[in-house]
Amino acid sequence: MEYTIKQISEIIGGKISGDENLCITGVSSIENAEDGDISFIKNESFVSKVLQTEASAVVSHRPIEESGKTLIIVDNPFSAFIKLLKIISDEKQQQPRTIHPSAVISKDSSIGYNISVGANVVIDGDTQIGKNVTIYPNVYIGTSCKIGDDSIIYPNVTIREEVTIGNRAIIQSGASIGDDGFGFLQIKGKHVKIPQVGTIEIGDDVAIGSNVTIARAALDKTIISSGVKIDNHSHIAHNCSIGEDSMLIAYAKLAGGVKIGKNVMIAEDVGITNYVEIKDNSMVGAASNVYKSLEPGSIVWGSPAKPITFEKRLQVLIKKLPEIYKKVKDL
C-alpha cells in the first residue's frame, strides 16, 4: 500500500494534525508499528502508547501535541480505521473479473456482470448468480440456487440445490450449505432415512465461517436472516431459524428446529437442543448447554444453562464443597 495522509483522511474522514503529504506504506497495531505505518488508538487509556510507538501516523480521538506525530483526529478511531482496512483488504484480495477456462457453468444458469469465477468451479442448471460476485476455485453450486450481488465465496465451498443466498454474503473456505439434515426413523431396529426435501434461505450481509455446516430443512426452510454472523466450525441443523443480526461464535451447535431471535449472542462451544427457542437480545455464555427455551433478554451460562448470576454463585460454592464435606464428615 502507499497512501498520503490526505488520501487516508479522505477515506476515513477526520481532521489532520501534521503533514498531510506524509507517505504511509503499512498499517499496524500501536505496539508493533514501524516507520511508515499508520496505527490507531481506541480511547484515552492508549494515549501513552502514542508517545512510544514507531508509527509515522496515528488515528486518534483527540490531539496529542507532545507526541510529535502526524494525527488524523476522528470521533471513533476504531470505526474509522476499519474503513481503511476494508480498502486494503479489497485490494489484497482483488480477483480477475473473468471466468476461468476450467469452470463448468450450465447453459441454463444466468451469470451477472463483473463476476469472477475461479478454476474448477461447477455451477449447475437453473442457478442465478448476481453481479460483482467472486467465486474462488473448487466451489460447487447446485441446481436452482440464487446467489446475491457482491457476494464472496471462498475455495472449496459446497452449496447444494435450491439454496437462496442474499446480497453481500461472505462464505469462508470449506463451508457446506444445504447438506441433508440428520433425519432417521427407527423401524424394526433399523434407521430409515427421512428424505430432506426442504431448502435454505440466507439473507443479506450474512458472514459464514470456515467449515460451517448448514443443513437443509426436512420440509419448509432453514432460515439464516440478514446480518447474521456464524463463526468457524459451527453447525446449524435442519429447520433452524436464526433472527437478524445474531452472532454464533466458533463451534456453536444448533440441533433441529432451534429458533434464535434477533440480536442474540451465542458464545463459543454452546450446544442447544432440539426445538429450543432463544428469544431476542439474549446471551449464552461459553460452553453452555441449553435445554429449555429462554425469554427475551436472558443472560445464561453453564450446563444446563442458568441465569448467569446464579451460575457464578454456584461455581463459587462448588469450589468450597471439599471443605464443606470435610467439616460435615468431622461432625
The set of catalytic residues is 238
Provide DSSP, 187-209: ETTEEEEPP---EEEE-TT-EE-
Distance CA 217, CA 232 (A): 21
> In this structure, is the dihedral angle defined by the CA atoms of residues 69, 74, 79 and 81, taken in order, positive or negative?
negative
DSSP 280: T
Buried b / exposed e across 111-131, counting CB within 10 Å, b at 16+?
beeebbbbeebebbeebebbe
Cβ atoms 139, 124 nearer than 8 A = no
Residue 306 three-state SS:
strand
Distance CA 107, CA 239 (A): 32
Residue with grid cell 474522514, as numbered in its chain: 13
